[in-house]
Structure 1
Amino acid sequence: MAKETLTRLGLYLAKKAVNKAMLSKLTGISTFRLSQLSINPKSHLRVKELYLIALAIEVNPAELLDFVSDGVELPVNKLN
């Protein structure tokens, strides 16, 4: 069985010791979806989900966005 690794969102939620069942109740996002967002890098976090999660755990949405977007850069412009 392959070892599961956490996504950036998963790391953030683990760091904050967030209970996914409670988060699900507060946001309306299913626990399955929260688990997928936490462990599956192919699950893409929607802006509305990020915003609801940030409100529920009482952090600035921009802080959460900055954390989960670490390493995202514009592609090199090949037109020049």
Structure 2
Amino acid sequence: MKKQTLTELGLYLAKRSINRAEVSRKTGISTFRLSQLSINEKAHLRGEELYLIALAIGEDPAKMFNHIYRETKLINEV
């Protein structure tokens, strides 16, 4: 059986001990979708989802975005 690792969103939520069921109730994003976003790299996080999750946990959406995508770089960036 393959061991699952957390995505950047999953790590972000885990470090802050965020209850996904509560986030689901506040945002309308299903707990299954939140789980997929937390463990599946191929489950791409949409901007609207990120914004809703940030509001639900009382986080600044821009700060959360910058943290989650901090490793993303331009192809030809020096």
Give the shorter-chain TM-score range: over 0.9
Superposition TM-score, scaled by structure 1 size:
0.93
Q: Any residues of structure 2 matched to 1:1-80 within 5 Å, and which?
A: 1-76=1-76
Distance apart, 1:57 and its partner CA: 0.2
Q: Distance in 2 between matches of 1:42 and 1:62?
A: 22
SS of 1:29 mapped into structure 2: coil
Amino acid aligned to 1:23: V
Letter in 1 for 2:18: V
What is the number of equivalent residue pairs in this alignment? 77
Unaligned runs of 5+ in 1: none
CA distance in 2, matches of 1:70, 1:37: 17
Larger radius of gyration: 1
Structure 1 consecutive aligned stretches of length 4 or more whose deviation exceeds 6 Å: none
| Sequence identity (%) | 58
RMSD: 1.0
- Map Cα deviations across residues 2-44 of structure 1 (whole Å, 9 max, x no partner): 1110000000000110111111000000000000000000111
TM-score using structure 2 length: 0.95
What code does the residue aligned with 1:46 have? R
* CA distance in structure 2 between the partners assigned to 1:22 and 1:58 by the alignment: 12
